């Protein structure tokens, strides 16, 4: 009888906890489901050159392996777009022939200024399209600059922003558009 009642208690508590877990997962799904459907989202990959502290970003899976030129794969920042979609802007890529550093901007005036003021800068076109404004299910794409090395990098990870500020000599971030959450 005793075994029977403790079994019943176990069964009830198991049932309750699974209902709670289910409710939690339904809520999560609903929150994401409430966002309007966005088409054409592709992963924005980051690669990192450890020695030079340079970063490269691409949505092209054929260009993810750059180990031949010293880069290691560094994960996905979020969802970007290969083609211009509603509410997206180009993320322009500029390569410095002299330092081999890569610079990215969504600001056309900044792009033009970089290309006209530094002869070593080469136009590498558009790396991806990103959202110009915060949208449902998106997160900011932060860009940080290191005045000591002249390097920039992009991240969506707020802990990485903080660490770059406190330990790596980078300045406060600016927001270079938004990407979809992974």
Ligand X SMILES: *[C@@H]1O[C@H](CO)[C@@H](O)[C@H](O)[C@H]1NC(C)=O
Burial zone of 127 (CB within 10 Å; 0-12 exposed, 13-18 middle, 19+ buried): buried
Contact 56, 102 (CB under 8 A): yes
For the CA atoms of 24, 25, 28, 30, the dihedral, rounded to the nearest 10 degrees, stands at: -110
Closer CB to ligand X, residue 45 or residue 139?
45
Positions in 56-95 near ligand X (CB under 6 A): 60, 62-63
Closer CB to ligand X, residue 80 or residue 164?
80
Nearest distance in Å: CB 93, ligand X: 12
Burial zone of 160 (CB within 10 Å; 0-12 exposed, 13-18 middle, 19+ buried): middle
Distance CA 67, CA 73 (A): 8
Nearest distance in Å: CB 61, ligand X: 8
Give the contact letters, 7-46, x = binds to ligand X (CB under 6 A), - = no. Answer: ----------------------------------------
Closer CB to ligand X, residue 128 or residue 131?
128
Nearest distance in Å: CB 30, ligand X: 34
DSSP 3-state of 101: coil
Per CB under 6 A, 125 contacts ligand X: no
Closer CB to ligand X, residue 64 or residue 165?
64
# chain residues binding ligand X, by CB under 6 A: 3
The residues pairing with 96 across neighbouring beta strands, listed in sequence order, are 121
DSSP 83: S
Name the site residues for ligand X (rule: CB under 6 A). Answer: 60, 62-63
């Amino acid at each position: 009888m005793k075994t029977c009642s403790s079994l019943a208690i176990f069964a009830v508590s198991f049932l309750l906890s699974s209902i709670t877990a289910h409710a939690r997962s339904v809520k999560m799904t609903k929150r994401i489901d409430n966002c309007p459907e966005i088409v054409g989202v592709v992963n924005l990959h980051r690669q990192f050159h450890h020695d030079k502290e340079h970063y490269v970003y691409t949505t092209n899976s054929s260009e993810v392996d750059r180990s031949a030129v010293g880069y290691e794969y560094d994960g996905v920042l979020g969802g970007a777009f290969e083609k211009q979609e509603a509410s997206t802007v180009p993320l322009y890529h500029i390569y410095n022939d002299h330092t081999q550093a890569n610079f990215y901007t969504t600001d056309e005036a900044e792009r033009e200024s970089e290309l006209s003021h530094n002869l070593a800068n080469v136009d590498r076109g558009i790396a991806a399209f990103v959202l110009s404004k915060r949208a449902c299910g998106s997160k900011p794409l932060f860009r940080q600059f290191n005045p000591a090395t002249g390097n920039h990098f992009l991240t969506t990870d707020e802990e990485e922003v903080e660490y770059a500020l406190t330990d790596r000599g980078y300045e406060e971030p600016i927001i270079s558009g938004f990407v979809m959450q992974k």
